[in-house]
Amino acid sequence: MTGSDRGAATVWAAVAVSVLGVVFMAVLAMGQAVVARHLAGGAADLAALAAADRALRGGDHACRAAAEVARAQGAQMVQCRVRGEIAEVTARSRLGPYAPEVRARAGPPAALPGLPAAVP
């Protein structure tokens, strides 16, 4: 064995471990972002359903119910709008450095724009 090859395997092993560490950290960060997005989406969906369920009692009552549901899901309601029987809710869920906002809309199918009315 010549003197110039000594320690070459250690350098290659250190580089490989460093690269694997960086890849692992990137995968964990992407996973955390996806989980935060799903938490916000679930909270927005449930809050919009709660608001639509109480839309006929008034917008304030509906939005209070939506905020309560969003909090129960570990999210924060950012915006709530009730027009007729349609409720639109935006929720934010914070997980680590990520805080995605997701908007959801709920209401009777015939009242949603772009959907045909149900045939009796």
Domains, the chain, in order of start with CATH, read: 27-107 (3.30.1300)
Residue 43: how many CB atoms within 10 A of its CB?
26
Largest CA distance in the chain: 89
Q: Which residues contact 66 (CB under 8 A, 6 or more apart)?
A: 47, 48, 50, 51, 77, 80, 87, 89
Helix axes 59-72, 8-53, angle to 10 degrees: 150
| pLDDT for position 80 | 95
pLDDT at 3: 61
Nearest Cα residue to 92 out of 80, 76, 69: 76
pLDDT of amino acid 9: 87
One digit per residue, pLDDT tens: the chain, 120 residues? 556 767 788 889 999 999 999 999 999 999 999 999 999 999 999 999 999 999 888 889 999 999 999 999 999 999 999 998 899 999 999 988 999 999 999 988 776 566 555 444
The tokens for 109 are 């199918």
pLDDT of 108 reads 85
Which residues, other chains included, contact 67 with Cβ-Cβ below 8 Å and sequence gap of 6+? 47, 77, 80
